[in-house]
Copies of this chain bind each other. A is one copy, B any other.
Amino acid sequence: MGAQEVSMKYWEDIESGQVFQTGSITIDAADIIEFATEFDPQPYHLDPAVAEESIFGGHCASGWQVCALMMRLLADTLERDHIPSRGSPGVQSLRWLRPVFAGDSLHAGITVTALQQAECASDPGRVQVSIDVLNQKDQSVIVLDTELLIEHRPAGAGK
């Protein structure tokens, strides 16, 4: 059994209530404008001066960019912990709670809320998670409930 196998974390190794802490990522004004220009060209994302006068009170990122940054934090965590993922079928709920401003740093806590084994061992198991993305003041900026598809331990693979 090689070192690589030993370190893999399969569906069987994940427990309800477990919390994964991600790394962090910082977003700047240029990132916000670049994303908004391509995907969400609304004045409060494109123009810092307009944004100051908006209900958001500052130059803030598209809510979908915050989701994309959450995905980066999640993907890096799956890779760091050697968890083989096959993506996600969807999101049960997503709330944008606070704007994310230029200069903010984001990190996330990923809490396992439920686990469902696949009927067929070659299919991935389901891992229900609640993801809380926070800024550098530890204020939640988005919260979402989603499901991850995580591979089952192959027959014969060691713990």
Chain A residues within 8 Å of B, Cβ to Cβ: 35, 38-42, 55, 62-65, 67-69, 71-72, 75-76, 79, 85-96
In whole Å, how far is A68's beta carbon from the nearest beta carbon of chain B? Answer: 4
Contact status A90-B86, CB under 8 Å: no
Residues of the B chain whose Cβ atoms lie less than 8 Å from the Cβ of A94? 90-91, 94
| C-alpha gap A92/B94 in the complex (Å) | 7
Quick one: closest B residue to A39, CB to CB?
B68
Given contacts A68-B40, A75-B40, contact A93 B96 (CB under 8 A): no
In whole Å, how far is A72's beta carbon from the nearest beta carbon of chain B? Answer: 5
Residues of the B chain whose Cβ atoms lie less than 8 Å from the Cβ of A86? 55
Residues of the B chain whose Cβ atoms lie less than 8 Å from the Cβ of A68? 35, 38-40, 62, 64-65, 68
| C-alpha gap A53/B32 in the complex (Å) | 34
In the assembled complex, 26 residue pairs joining A and B whose CB atoms fall closer than 8 Å, in A order, are: A38-B68, A38-B72, A39-B68, A39-B69, A39-B75, A40-B68, A40-B71, A40-B75, A41-B75, A41-B76, A41-B79, A42-B85, A55-B86, A63-B87, A63-B88, A64-B67, A64-B71, A67-B67, A87-B96, A89-B95, A89-B96, A90-B94, A91-B93, A92-B93, A93-B93, A94-B94
Residues of the B chain whose Cβ atoms lie less than 8 Å from the Cβ of A76? 41
Contact status A71-B62, CB under 8 Å: yes
Residues of the B chain whose Cβ atoms lie less than 8 Å from the Cβ of A92? 93
In whole Å, how far is A128's beta carbon from the nearest beta carbon of chain B? Answer: 14
Given contacts A42-B75, A68-B64, contact A96 B85 (CB under 8 A): no
